[in-house]
Structures are given as C-alpha cells and as structure tokens.
Structure 1
C-alpha cells in the first residue's frame, strides 16, 4: 500500500494511492495515519480493503507528511562512507544517533523556510522507515517485523547550528520545515529489498546526490536492532537512516541553499519530493 495524508496543513485526511495512481479516501476506516494506524494489525486490516470500493478524491490536493507527528523522530548520521569523508568525519564504528524535533516535519512538497539567523542551509536525501510495533532489545532477524513501511526524508540541516559552538547535531536539524517526509508511506510488502534502492537529489535541476542504499555502513536491520538496544521504539516513530555524498557542505567551495532554490529528490519505489526554499 501507498498511504498518504492529504488536505490543508493541520487538517489532513488519511488516504491511499491505488495501483492506477488514484487517490482514495480512507476516512471511513481510520481517523488518521498515525501511531495507531501503523501497527501491524491495523495495516493488515487496511491491506484487506478493496481500493476500488474506496471513495475517489477529486482534484490534486496538497499532500502532507504521510505519518502524523510521531512521538520520536530519530536520525542516523554519517551512514555512507563517502558522506563521512566529505564531512571530514571518521567512519563510525557504531551508528551515530541524534534526534530531529517532531515539529520539524513538513509535507513533501511544502516550502522549506530559511529561519532567521540561518546562513548555511543544506540538503540530505535519506531513506526513512516507520516503526510498526514496540521494539525493545530485538535481534536483527526480527527487525523487519517491526517496520510498517518506508518513505523519503529530506534531512534539511543548518550547518552552523550543527557544527558551531558545542557542535550539537540536534540543534542543526530541528528547525521548522527541516523534515519533509513522503509523499507516501509505502508498506514493506512493496519494498522487498530496502538495501537496494537508488537515491537522488537535484538542486535547481543540477544533480547533487546520487547513491544506493546498498552502500550504507549500517543497514536497516542493524539500525533498528541497535536502536532497540538503547531505547524503546514505538509504533509511529520515524527513523531516517543517513545520506549519500553530495551535500552542499562537501562541495569546494561549499554551496548552501538560497531563497528561490528548488530541491527535487527521490528514492526508487517511494516517489519524489519537491521543495522551494523561501526566506522567513
């Protein structure tokens, strides 16, 4: 299934994209795509529905984040060797874990806003996943039973806030609009091998990032097992898994986002995002 949330910001409705690409309304079956909907039992119930029997949504409404604001938005840093090198960081011996504020979550095509005081805004296309059941100290063999589905994340980053001063990553990753997600939450049955997905990101039509999830240092099963060893993961939590090389910070000289810039990014099987950068 491709699950979506559509409509005005703050008033999104749950939906489903059928095999023909038609948006269908799920409001009669779930109130939202959230922590309750993302459990294995609820996903099985939705999968049993006949899409053609669901009401068709007219027009082309805005798409919001396909998951309502989660309890936790977790990120993995430096998970591609070439990206660690361009960032001037050593290859990590274990996953680098930080948080993005849930308030940073944005729709896949909504504007990304440059906050006051932000001078080094950067892009990072990433594969993310949503947790489907409580995970505490699980094994890698059990990892995929705890995943509801996959989605694209643009881990927008303010590099001065991230590396300046005390160098705390969370503060450079958590501004409003710094977490575009979607356009879809694609359930695991449609993505049989999440470790072989092509990734790209363009800025103003110029290719900046190209990669494949096969080159992750820590694959998804290892990430979820590692995280569940140090914290409880709960249904609806979002985990974004790191970016391939090609970020603005790594260019010579560095290049950062300016008002009017347009980012287009995608992952095979998960659709594409498009965001315009605007000043606050």
Structure 2
C-alpha cells in the first residue's frame, strides 16, 4: 500500500545557469516551480559567482555534462514541461536542441537569455544564430524581453504597434507562440506584454510595480509558465497565470544586498501567515 502522503505531482525541468545570489536562474526557477505546486528538476549549464551588484565569474559546463543531467531526469522521473534559461554558448544550445528533439519534448518554454533587462549582451552572435535556427523552432512558447525581441526580429520597439509587429515577425522563426515582454520598457509599455500564436494577437497588461528589486523576473515568469503548463493549463492561460504570479512576487520583492534584490517567491506564505516585522 502506498503511504497516505503519496500523490502524483507534475514535474518541470529547468535548463539554466546557477545564480549564487539566489535571485535568478536555477534558484529562481525551482522556487517558482515549488510555489506553483510542481516538483522542480534541473540541468545546470553554468555556475556564476554573483550578487546583487555584479557577476564576477562564470564557469560553463560541458555540453555532455548538461545533457547527462537532462537524460538522468528523463530516464527516471520524467517531466511534464521544460524551460530553458541561460544557455551560454552555441555548443550547449545545439546539444539541448538535439536532446529536445530526441525526447520529443512538446511542452517547451524558451526564455532566450541573450540580453539583460538593462540591455547588456550576454551571449555571442554564434550562440544567437544557433538559438534561432535550432532551439526556437521547438518552443511551444518563446518569451523574449524587449531587447531580445529586437535582436530576433531585427526591428526596434518603441510603441505597442511595434510590439505587435515584432511578435508576428518572431513567430515566423518557428515557435508555436510568442510572448513579447514589456517589463523592461518605459512609459505605457511597462507591464504590457504581447501574445501571438499565429492566430490570436492579445495584449496583456498589468499595473507596473514600483520597485527597484526586479532581479530574476524573466526567469521567474518563464518558470511560472512552465509550471502552469505542467499543471495542464493551455498556453495562453498558463501565461496569464504566470503573469499574475510575477506581479504578486514583485509586490513582495526583497530588499537584500546593495543592488537590485530579487522578487519575493514566498508571497503565498506571507499572505497565509504574515511574518513578524524585522527588528534592528
């Protein structure tokens, strides 16, 4: 007889980098999975030494090491959804794409981590080309930020109409749907995302949250989408639920360190049982 505590649980896999500061990457993804009631598994692509102020070192794993992690999870536990985050070079991107194809992964969220929210380039042109050619066509949902969307479409984004046009253009790269994120935009575009799945073009708005502590928002959003897909939500419903999740996490963002802190994943616990105030 199974123990009384047993129940089946959806599983999600994140393929991304490790953030020693705990705000983004694998750490943010696993927290997001947990608070969406999904068991999180991981394949680490690189190990970063970072805090809220800077990234001081990056050690990239071999493609073989990344694939071994994915295969280990696939062979025993399995997964209902997969998301990719930081894939630091073309070799890892190609290996991940081949593994996605080999395992016939249908529920893939690709967060094309190419440019930071502030506009800093994170991977080289070869890696970007490989991402476009080999991985993006396998994505169920692609989630570029403004700068990544501009690179993928070779178009600039200044207005909502630009966002819509870029979403349609990027969809032609082969992903089943595209979510252009406006979190890094200014003015009326802040908090505005655009969804396109080849037929439905929808503008998703949320009131901007006035906080400087936004580290890990992109990772968290894509992880929340993957979690909702693992829970059998349709793609657009998954995106809407994930957008609600990241908005609440931003309302509970953490003031830690000397730079931008991370979003607050544990807000469901705070809402259920408020923590006592921090005393000096």
TM class, shorter-length:
under 0.3
Bigger fraction of residues in helix: 2
**TM-score normalised over the length of structure 2:** 0.24
Bigger fraction of residues in strand: 1
Higher relative contact order (CA 8 A, sep 6+): 1
**TM-score normalised over the length of structure 1:** 0.24
